[in-house]
Structures are given as C-alpha cells and as structure tokens.
C-alpha cells in the first residue's frame, strides 16, 4: 500500500552533482539530474525505446540523452531527438515527475502532477538553517517502510533497542506520549523525566556536550510530527528538575526558558519497493559554542543507533515473510496504528471508485 499523492524524499540535494542519479520510489525507477538551467528534473528511469536506464545517460544542457541508442529527452519527458531518424513518434515520451528542492532534500511527487501542491512539503529543517547545526546521512532497509514508520512512531523501543547507544532508560517504555491526529499524520508529545540512563554503559550518549547536564532529575520535552508518507520532525529540549510541573499543559511557553540541551532531527522514510526502504536523517543541536563538535558526535551516535533499528526491523521482516499473522497490539501501538490508518485513508482517497 503506497500513497501516490505526496512528496517523497528522493535524495539529499548535495547528491545531485554532475551526473544523473538513479532512485526507485514505490517500485518506480526514477532518474534525477540538474539541468544546465539549474532546475532539477525527475523522469522515469526507463527509455521508452528499449528500456535502457536514462540514469546512465548524458546531460546535454537541459536535456538528457539515453546512452544506449542516443534518444534525447526534454525535461518534460518528451523525446526530442532520435539519431538518424527524422520523425519522432508521438508515443516517444517518458513520464516526468514534479520535483522540488527544499530543506536540503529533493522531493518527488509520485501521484497526479496536477495535484502536486508545494504547500504539502513537510516543514523539515535543512543544513542551511540559521538556528541549527545539523549533520545528515542515509541508510537502506531490507524491510517494508511501514515497519520503519511503526518504529518511529513508538519510542517504547528506545528502552530496549537503544538502551546502550542512546542510553535510554525504561521511562520510554513505561510511560505513554500524547498522540494527536493531524490531517496528514500524527503529533506525538511527551515529558520524559530521567529518560537517559546514568550508568557506564550509556556513556556514549552522555559524552555528547550539553545532553544530560542538570543531573539525574533532567526533564525533557519531546515533540514531533510524523507526516505522510514517513516524515519525522522532532525537537527535544532538556530542562532542570521542576520544569515539567511548571509548564505542563502550556509547553508553548517553554520558548522563554533556557534549555540545557535543544536539538532537532528531520527524518524521511522512503519506500523503494515493497521490501526495501531508504531512510534519510539529519540531527543536531542549536547553533552556538561547540555545536559543530556536538553535531559530529550526534551523527556518530545516530548511525550506531539506527544500525540497531535496522538489525531488529530486518529480522522482524524476515520473520513476517515466513510466518505472517495477526499482531497482539498494546497501548504503545496507538500512534503506529493511527499513522497506518492515515496512510490507508490517503491511499483510498486516490483509488478510482470500485478498486
């Protein structure tokens, strides 16, 4: 089940340099390239002639030439040259996809181009942002994207999967966040008191500057939106003990309180095929003294932690492949299930009647 009418993250913008790149999103092979005009182009990665990959093609000005038999395509997807032949058949066209660069990501609209509304691009934060020092990377999963979405909408797993990497305490498993439905996703918010463990095994996380200052009573306000198809935008701030009691219910006033730590992460889950997923993420602290070094440490930590997720989720997928079944849900599954319902609702709204 894939939603088509939404923006999928296809790449970091810095990945689009001189050569075209190949991507697969919801099982459709895509080629992306930067035209000489500077505009980004996204087309079907499959020449209409004999199905060679256009991603092995040559950028010629704004156009892309297939390097198998030389057909040339305009950014519109229309074939504009067949070497050695005058006439170009009307059928000689490949699909072009709406594409935008925003917040350091390249977004592709996989559905009806007429409905490609730029306002639907989620408000991620890019590297150029004035307030945050961010680092980013990406990894691939051999798993369906919904399993990654589930993981990101239920932080119960932090207490187990990331016990040593993020140093998460059992608080993440023992307490439940507030979950609120949004038009295209869910908002998840919680206070975590003593969410980071204090012992030696959790030392990696503790070593990062500014995380955990404030001692054992540290209180964190964590708030994120998780939006279709799989975009997580989360800010986490830590405060001295007592802050929670003072601000509970009107956390918007926290903006006036100096935080002990303050970080932001943007994450994007992009289904490649039914069984493979690409996961883009950035993370980092507020800009300031030492934030460059912290951002480096945080990226290292994130890569270690996300490798833990990858191991668990790919194992989960393998088991589901051989022994599918019906889950026994818990109260921690509220957000994952609301998110799945949201995607199903969006997908159903796209389907022609009767399908």
- Residue 112 contacts a second copy per CB under 8 A: no
Looking at 148-156, 199-207, 260-268, 280-288, which segment touches a second copy (CB under 8 A)? 148-156
* Contact residues for 190 (Cβ-Cβ < 8 A; gap 6+): 175, 176, 177, 178, 221, 222
Considering Cα of 249, then 252, then 258, then 260, what sign does the dihedral take?
Answer: positive
Task: Please state the closest distance from residue 158 (CB atom) to a second copy, in A.
Answer: 10
Comparing CA positions, the residue from 318, 281, 278 lying closest to residue 141 is 278
- Residue 250 contacts a second copy per CB under 8 A: no
Task: Please state the closest distance from residue 28 (CB atom) to a second copy, in A.
Answer: 7
Residue 9 CA: distances (Å) to CA of 50, 99, 113, 153: 28, 10, 16, 18
Count Cβ neighbours within 10 Å for each residue of 165-174 and write b for 16 or more, e otherwise: bbbbbebbbe
Task: Please state the closest distance from residue 24 (CB atom) to a second copy, in A.
Answer: 8
* Contact residues for 38 (Cβ-Cβ < 8 A; gap 6+): none
Contact between 301 and 166 (Cβ < 8 Å): yes
- Residue 140 contacts a second copy per CB under 8 A: no
Closer to a second copy by CB, 79 or 232: give it.
79
- Residue 190 contacts a second copy per CB under 8 A: no
Angle at 38 between CA 37 and CA 41, to 5 degrees: 95
Task: Please state the closest distance from residue 340 (CB atom) to a second copy, in A.
Answer: 12
- Residue 51 contacts a second copy per CB under 8 A: yes
Task: Please state the closest distance from residue 301 (CB atom) to a second copy, in A.
Answer: 19
CB atoms within 10 A of CB 155: 27
Identified binder of a second copy from the candidate list 21, 332, 337, 347, rule CB under 8 A? 332
Closer to a second copy by CB, 66 or 196: give it.
66
- Residue 194 contacts a second copy per CB under 8 A: no
- Residue 127 contacts a second copy per CB under 8 A: no
- Residue 340 contacts a second copy per CB under 8 A: no
Comparing CA positions, the residue from 125, 98, 119, 101 lying closest to residue 184 is 119
Which helix or strand (DSSP H or E) is residue 232 part of?
Answer: strand 231-239
- DSSP helix/strand/coil, 282: strand
Considering Cα of 206, then 204, then 151, then 26, what sign does the dihedral take?
Answer: positive
Task: Please state the closest distance from residue 53 (CB atom) to a second copy, in A.
Answer: 5
- Residue 65 contacts a second copy per CB under 8 A: yes
- Residue 170 contacts a second copy per CB under 8 A: yes
DSSP conformational letter for 259: P
Task: Please state the closest distance from residue 322 (CB atom) to a second copy, in A.
Answer: 7
Q: Is 252 exposed, middle or buried (0-12, 13-18, 19+ CB in 10 A)?
A: exposed
Identified binder of a second copy from the candidate list 13, 21, 35, 49, rule CB under 8 A? 49
- Residue 159 contacts a second copy per CB under 8 A: yes
Identified binder of a second copy from the candidate list 17, 18, 84, 252, rule CB under 8 A? 84
Task: Please state the closest distance from residue 285 (CB atom) to a second copy, in A.
Answer: 29
- Residue 126 contacts a second copy per CB under 8 A: no
Contact between 339 and 226 (Cβ < 8 Å): yes
* Residues 316, 4: Cα–Cα separation, whole Å: 26
Closer to a second copy by CB, 19 or 69: give it.
69
Parallel/antiparallel/unpaired status of strands 135-141 and 178-182: unpaired
Task: Please state the closest distance from residue 18 (CB atom) to a second copy, in A.
Answer: 17
- Residue 329 contacts a second copy per CB under 8 A: yes
Question: For binding to a second copy (CB under 8 A), which residues are involved?
Answer: 27-29, 45-46, 48-53, 56, 58, 65-71, 79, 82-85, 89, 91-92, 150, 154, 156-157, 159-161, 170, 173-176, 311-312, 315-316, 319-320, 322-323, 325, 327-333
């Amino acid at each position: 089940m894939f939603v088509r009418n939404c923006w999928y993250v296809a790449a970091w913008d810095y990945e689009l340099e001189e050569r075209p790149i190949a991507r697969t999103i919801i099982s459709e092979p895509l080629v992306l390239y930067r035209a000489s005009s500077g505009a980004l182009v996204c087309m079907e990665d499959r020449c209409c002639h004999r199905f060679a990959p256009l991603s092995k093609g040559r950028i010629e000005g704004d156009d892309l030439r297939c390097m198998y038999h030389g057909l040339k395509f305009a950014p519109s997807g229309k074939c504009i040259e067949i070497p050695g032949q005058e006439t170009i058949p009307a059928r000689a066209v490949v699909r072009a996809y709406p594409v935008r660069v925003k917040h350091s990501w390249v977004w592709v609209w996989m559905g009806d181009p007429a409905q490609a509304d730029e306002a639907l691009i989620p408000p991620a934060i890019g590297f150029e942002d004035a307030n945050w020092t961010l680092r980013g990377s990406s990894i691939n999963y051999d798993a369906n994207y919904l399993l990654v979405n589930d993981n990101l909408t239920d932080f119960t797993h932090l207490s187990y999967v990331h016990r040593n990497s993020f140093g998460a305490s059992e608080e993440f498993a023992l307490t439940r966040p507030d979950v609120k439905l949004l038009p295209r996703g869910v908002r998840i918010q919680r206070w975590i008191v003593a969410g980071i463990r204090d012992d030696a095994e959790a030392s990696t996380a503790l070593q990062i500057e500014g995380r955990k200052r404030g001692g054992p009573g540290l209180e964190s306000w964590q708030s994120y939106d998780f939006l279709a198809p799989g975009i997580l935008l989360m800010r986490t701030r830590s405060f001295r003990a007592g802050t929670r009691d003072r601000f509970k219910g009107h956390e918007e006033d926290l903006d006036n309180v100096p935080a002990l730590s303050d970080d932001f992460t943007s994450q994007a889950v992009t289904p490649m095929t039914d069984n493979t997923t690409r996961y883009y993420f950035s993370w980092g602290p507020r800009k300031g003294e030492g934030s460059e070094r912290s951002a480096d440490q945080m990226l290292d930590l994130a890569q270690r932690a996300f490798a833990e997720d990858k191991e668990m989720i790919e194992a989960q997928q393998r088991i589901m492949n051989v022994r599918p079944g019906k889950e026994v849900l818990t109260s921690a599954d509220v957000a994952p299930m609301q998110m799945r319902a949201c995607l199903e609702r969006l997908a159903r709204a796209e389907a022609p009647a009767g399908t």
